Structure 1
Amino acid sequence: MPILSRPALVEHLVRTRIAGDVATPRDNNLSHYRKLANGDRHYWLGLELGDRWTDEQDVLAVMAERCGVNDDPAHRAGQDTIDPELTVDAIDRAAARLRKAAAGKERVLFATGHPGALIDAHSRVAAGLRAKGCDIVRIPGGLTADEGYVVQFADVAVFERGATLWHTHSPEPMNAILDGLEALGEPLPDLVVADHGWAGRAGQRGIDSVGYADCNDPALFIGEAEGTMQVTIPLDDHVIDPRSYEPLTDYLLDASGLL
């Protein structure tokens, strides 16, 4: 399949609802912004936000600027949006960081809290970096977190419980990996490419972190605004058909020089 041009990729993102009029409703977005502002650490995604974001309207302003949600505080229900141009802008920023990783043959860790949607996208980028001589982190065995296991498939760390891969926002699996590497005397990653609490906690621990984030997950966008995250890519992080992410991943690989 040929690599899509930027306009064609924007059109694809809107058609598949990865961006544009996304499935996440406005009231859900605002509820998450409010909970983050009220100090609910589940919504901090592994970041330490202190008392810097206690106003829901400040959170909304960041999300309008960096994700493209409706900036009208009176819009309380119904449709909300992700600006596909901002999505592609962020993919281009991520590509620049991946080019740096490839040039330096860096040590890179991939992880996802959305194994049903994003594992293939992460795995393909990992393969591209390995082909350029990067060291793709192999996580220690026997790691546990949140009453489950931290395991790795196709170079991507995921959370498993009851023989099932789980959707998780928790930062504890990333803590388990980083603590496990330190306990073995292995170097930490130079770069983490992930989402949810996996990405936020890596950034909080001082590692360059690139994360995918939905419009109801404001913490990673705040992390980029504050400089804790390197890049946060706005998109619906679980559309029905995971193959819908393939053109986006192709574009990222091409822009990164990894094809």
Structure 2
Amino acid sequence: MHDPQPLPPSGQRGGYRYYDLVMVAFVAVYLCSNLIGPAKAAQVTLPVFGPLTFGAGVLFFPISYIFGDILTEVYGYARARRVIWAGFSAMAFASLMAAVVVHLPPAPEWRNQAAYEIAFGSTWRIVLASLTAFFCGEFVNSFVLAKMKILTRGRWLWTRTIGSTIVGEGVDSLLFYPLAFYDSGLIPNEILWKVMVSQFVAKVMVEVVFTPLTYKVVGALKRAEREDYYDVRTNFTPFSLKA
């Protein structure tokens, strides 16, 4: 195996140039996936398959896994861990404040309370299911990618971006849908597994489609940051903010 850090890491030479921007993008996409997407059920008609109904959040959420792959590949698991915690904390705060605002008594002349509740009034069961699935799925995704990078000696990036996403999204889906919807009355139990599988496949396909772009972004960041981190001696506990 080649030297895990062939160049002095830019984080030790005065700070990374783009790490904070990638963090902001990751958090923004995650918030969009939970605050904008879930309120709308969309339907498109596909050749051969016919009509396909899905939650609009599926357009956003896989992109957060792409950012997670980029963070771990370039900066390492520990720095990706800080970003995952930032996203988790931002979503927890946004969910709390959304609940507070929804439950504030509306002014008598304001007539949009019902629409506001539809858009921002997620139940605490769904919020907790989303936070739990995100926390577990993102950390599994980052862990698998970091280990696969060592195993493949940094070659075949596509195998670890797609492979880690399959495992991470699998954990996310297996946790979120039963925790959020089993015996809830919102999705019949007999079709819950079909919804879970279809959403999982859609999210993985987004990762596959974006693989060429992921290659370009990873390559550009590695050159700009002069960093290509290998987690050889990393402490993989998720319960730390140490980079």
| TM-score (structure 1 length as normaliser) | 0.27
Q: Which has the higher contact order (CA 8 A, sep 6+)?
A: 2
Instruction: Kindly indicate which of the two structures has a greater share of residues assigned to helix.
Output: 2
Larger Rg: 2
